[in-house]
Amino acid sequence: MKLKNFNLQFGTQIFKSFSDESRVRIMYLLYRNEELCISDLELILDFTQTKTSRHITYLKHAGLLSFRKQDQWVFYHVKEEVLDIVDRIFKFLNKDTVLLKDYETFEILNSNRELSINKIKLPY
């Protein structure tokens, strides 16, 4: 379900969420990669677990993120309803060097199979 219209209160929540660089970086990685867990975000962004969890909680309460649980991991993803506006925001930031570096780090760690998302795909 796509969000076609939203009220002022929800709009301000979105803009407040994007007013912090750490949250923008988290949202960008989730937007580009569909879903990641906190440990993956910590590793990619070089954030502490506390900082990452605090920002994830903020984004969840703002209505931008949802999650699914699998084994001991919780994977976060951008809610489908807000994908359109998030897509538009990141079209303006598509050449930002910090965001591109974050994505490059993701690709390196992903190719080295260091991310949790890869660990759950391996047969035990």
Q: Where are the domains of the chain?
A: 8-119
Task: Please name the residues in contact with 6: beta carbons below 8 A apart, sequence gap of 6 or more.
Answer: 14
Q: Is the pLDDT of residue 5 over 70?
A: no
Q: What is the dihedral of CA 48, 95, 97, 17, to 10 degrees?
A: -30
Which fold does the domain 8-119 belong to in CATH?
Arc Repressor Mutant, subunit A (1.10.10)
* pTM of the shown model: 0.86
The predicted pLDDT at position 113 comes to 76
pLDDT in tens, 34-77: 899 999 999 999 999 999 999 999 999 999 999 999 888 899 99
